[in-house]
């Protein structure tokens, strides 16, 4: 009986240590990540052609996407996002920006770096920052 109690306590301590480590590991910063460079229309095209293959290449990875700003809007949390144009008139590459402090307008050619979070009508990028200054 003593051995069972010791084993349970040991497993609980290991589980607690793993939980603590996972909850306190540093947040990945997109600026520190090596990114895959791609144009917005090409990224969108790869997702519409074969979503599973595109997820293998891009999902949860840092991506640097260049393209033309179609729209700028904000979500329900007042976080701004930029949509980059693609060959699809209704959908594009939606980039949720880390900061609302940027001066971009529709029609600007920009490069945005963020983490790819998949495809739901638009290709979604999160934690985005501008990689190139707007001219």
| pTM of the model as a whole | 0.74
Q: What is the pLDDT of residues 47-89, one digit of tens each?
A: 999 999 999 999 999 999 999 999 999 888 888 999 999 988 8
pLDDT at 134 over 60: no
Residue recorded with tokens 């060959």: 87
CATH code: domain 30-130 is 2.40.50.140
Coil vs helix vs strand at 74: strand
Phi, psi of 58 (to 5 degrees): -120, -25
* pLDDT tens profile 21-45: 666 666 676 667 788 899 999 999 9
The yes-or-no verdict on residue 110 having pLDDT over 90 is yes
Position 106 confidence tier, pLDDT thresholds 50, 70, 90? very high
Integer Cα distance of 121 and 119 in angstroms: 6
């Amino acid at each position: 009986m003593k051995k069972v109690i010791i084993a349970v306590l040991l497993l609980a301590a290991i589980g607690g240590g793993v939980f603590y480590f996972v909850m306190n590991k540093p947040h990945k910063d997109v600026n520190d990540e090596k990114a895959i460079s791609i144009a917005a229309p090409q990224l969108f095209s790869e997702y519409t052609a074969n979503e599973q293959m595109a997820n293998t290449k891009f999902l949860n990875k840092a991506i640097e996407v260049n393209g033309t700003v179609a729209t700028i809007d904000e979500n329900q949390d007042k976080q701004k996002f930029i949509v980059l144009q693609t060959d699809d008139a209704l959908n594009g590459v939606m980039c949720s920006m880390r900061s609302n402090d940027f001066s971009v307008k529709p029609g600007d050619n920009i490069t945005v770096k963020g983490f790819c979070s998949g495809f739901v009508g638009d290709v979604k990028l999160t934690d985005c920052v501008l990689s190139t200054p707007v001219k």
